[in-house]
Structure 1
């Protein structure tokens, strides 16, 4: 019972940290593209290799139809895993960039976004419908455990894994995924890890 209380306390603390790092009061979580373009100028995250070698968590995520995907089963192809939420303004800014990045990477890396919204499909489905993404799929993990597994309580958190499921690098916080630097860092990592 004590372990359960400790885990619940950690979950609450982690969610509080995640909520505190995002703008929950945004009038329109799915901001218009014009506002997103202006917001891209203030992206501050940096590529960090301190956790390189850690394994992709073997956790289940679900889509809007209830289909289950075990993240640990994604070995065999590099994965760029983005953990986000609809209430997180920096996350919303990144999503169209990640969709375009998936286009540019043309199947060399799977771009996988996983929502941490507690309301799940209730808020993720309308967001995806409004944004009309070409490449991103609406995966969700509503218990907040993925953030703990990644040892990050900040949204967004994006981690690049090589084809063997080992972390190459991560970005905690927002990042300009539309720039050449992002594509070069991803492709260089993929080429170096085979």
Structure 2
């Protein structure tokens, strides 16, 4: 049991422990056990120390939340703006090493699955918002990802995993397919199976 919990924690950041100078409002508790709806990763990623996750299907079929968050360049957005398209929502923060490690694989998948309609939203949980995230994106020069912001951590509270990164896949009807708690190699075989299921 402890080993399974450690597997998840190794590839994720405790949302309650950002470095000094970066507040984090999330107070969700980390589950002490893997439920029957959760499957620990096989650890078969290209970088086993960076990519450790738990796959949770316990909320499959749930509707996407209706929170307002900040679109790239400002302005309001909701997940309902993407109705009719499959969606991958990734919660991350600039201070979270596993989050940063998986971003290049998310960028690659965003380009690869764009012809099938998949939208990839990397929604930052940095409480400093654009001031923290925009310079990060400027340095990284991602081809397909954009800087979406949730400085009030609404999504973090809603998903209540207690860890970053957390990714949630939604089908074209806005219904949850699965969530990935921890960092996944989005170009790996497990991710491909999930993505094909989501866009299929």
Band the TM-score falls in, shorter-chain normalisation:
0.7 to 0.9
Correspondence list, 1:143-154, <5 A: 143-154=152-163
Counterpart of 1:46 in 2: which secondary structure? strand
Inter-CA distance 90–185: structure 2 relative to 1 (3 Å threshold):
same
Instruction: Tell me by how many angstroms 1:176 deviates.
Output: 1.3
Inter-CA distance 188–65: structure 2 relative to 1 (3 Å threshold):
closer
TM-score (norm 1): 0.77
Distance 2:178 2:184 in 1: 13
Unaligned runs of 5+ in 1: 1-15, 26-37
Correspondence list, 1:37-76, <5 A: 40-42=47-49, 43-76=51-84
1:130 and 2:127 aligned: no
The two structures, once aligned, show a CA RMSD in angstroms of: 2.1
Unaligned runs of 5+ in 2: 1-12, 21-44
Report how many aligned residue pairs link the two structures: 162
Deviation per CA, 1:81-115, whole angstroms, max 9, x where unpaired?
Answer: 00000001110001111000111113321111100
Deviation per CA, 1:26-50, whole angstroms, max 9, x where unpaired?
Answer: xxxxxxxxxxxx9832211032211
Counterpart of 1:127 in 2: which secondary structure? helix
Counterpart of 1:169 in 2: which secondary structure? strand
Could you list the structure 1 runs, at least 4 aligned residues long, displaced by more than 3 angstroms after superposition: none
TM-score (norm 2): 0.75
Distance 1:114 1:123 in 2: 13
Distance 2:120 2:100 in 1: 15
